[in-house]
Amino acid sequence: MYRMRAPKPVHPRILKVGKRELVTQGLSRLIFRDLFHHLMCVGWLRLFATLAAFFFLFDSLFGLLYHLSPGSVANLNPPGFAGDFFFSVETFATVGYGQMHPQTLYGHLVAMFEIFGGLMSLALITGLMFARFSRPRARFLFAKYAVVRPIDGKPTLIFRAANERQNVVQNATARLRMVRNEITQEGYRLRRIVDLPLLRSEFPLFALSWTIMHVIDDDSPLRAETAESLARSKAVLVLSLSGMDENTGQALMARSEYDSADIRWNCTFQDILEEAPDGTLHIDYGSFNYIEPLQVSDTAAPPA
């Protein structure tokens, strides 16, 4: 009779998806099996701390190997383990100042393995740094809130986005999706993704700002929704932007999420475009997130 081995306990992990925090468990961590992805995702401070710890431990290990055989390093200065450690640092970096050097077969063998490990480590660290610095980042600015207001007599869901770099992003594309809880006719609970068509989903030259609109008409999945119903279904609107950087030719992607509390009904964005007396146009991004309630005269249709 075979007895099954009890699974190793796996600590739960806190995963943040948008504004929601999820606790996952039952999966082992893949740090060492997916080390490159992990090092690409950690913050810069943690990355440099990890590399510094690796550098110190690597040099300490080979310094200890030199120290186990006294006399393996000529002109050791300072004497003792400190000198072996600093010689290990010089060997790891292939500096070779010319004073301390291996003088026994044992010392040469240890130095050979350390140089090989040092060259491989420096190559990997250089590739990692290049990958992190060359990774394309979209500097797209999303307004904190979305608004619902009448446009041409129809209630319209409106988002505001901007290009922080103020360069040209070619063929910019926007997609809007709603994720909400639903119950099927059989009583099955699921998290459903619904596409929300946009009035204009493409922008050939996205350089400054972009007002993105979804008309809430009879064909819209939001036609019967209210702030309360969206809150009950835990609906989240996901706005995705993508495009091609004209200067670098890199594909840029960014997204923003809005839950029911981030949607302001019967409100409008404050205008950020102003024309000076001399005809010059000014865009005030300091008012990018400002919204204001609609006046009665502006409400051409009842709020959804």
| pLDDT class of 11 with cuts at 50, 70, 90 | low
| pLDDT class of 109 with cuts at 50, 70, 90 | very high
The lowest-confidence range among 40-44, 45-49, 59-63, 295-299 is 295-299
Q: Residue 178: CB partners within 8 Å, gap ≥ 6?
A: 193, 194, 196, 221, 222, 235, 236, 237, 238
pLDDT at residue 301, as a whole number = 45
Query: Which helix (H) or strand (E) covers residue 255, if one does?
Result: strand 251-259
pLDDT at 144 over 70: yes
pLDDT at residue 35, as a whole number = 82
C-alpha angle 196/261/198, rounded to 5°? 15
CA–CA distance, 253 with 239 (Å, rounded to integer): 11
In this predicted model, what pLDDT tens digit does every residue of 181-215 receive, in sequence order? 988 888 888 989 999 999 999 999 898 889 999 99
The answer for 115, left when phi > 0, alpha when psi is -120 to 50, beta otherwise, is alpha
Q: What count of residues does the chain have?
A: 304
**3-state secondary structure (DSSP) of residue 36:** helix
pLDDT at 38 over 90: no
pLDDT at residue 5, as a whole number = 57
Mean pLDDT within 166-186: 91
- Residue predicted with more confidence, 37 or 60: 60
Percent of the chain with pLDDT over 90: 56
CA–CA distance, 221 with 180 (Å, rounded to integer): 11
CA–CA distance, 59 with 88 (Å, rounded to integer): 5
In this predicted model, what pLDDT tens digit does every residue of 279-292 receive, in sequence order? 788 888 888 899 99
Q: For residue 148, what are the β-bridge partners? A: 157, 265
In this predicted model, what pLDDT tens digit does every residue of 62-92 receive, in sequence order? 999 999 999 999 999 899 999 999 999 999 9
Query: Which helix (H) or strand (E) covers residue 196, if one does?
Result: strand 189-196
The lowest-confidence range among 38-47, 143-152, 169-178 is 38-47
Mean pLDDT within 157-183: 92
- Residue predicted with more confidence, 36 or 194: 194
In this predicted model, what pLDDT tens digit does every residue of 248-257 receive, in sequence order? 888 999 999 9
Per-chain mean pLDDT for the chain: 87
pLDDT at residue 304, as a whole number = 42
In this predicted model, what pLDDT tens digit does every residue of 216-244 receive, in sequence order? 999 999 998 999 999 999 999 999 999 99
Domains and CATH numbers, the chain: 13-134 (1.10.287.70), 140-298 (2.60.40.1400)
pLDDT at 18 over 70: no
pLDDT at 302 over 50: no
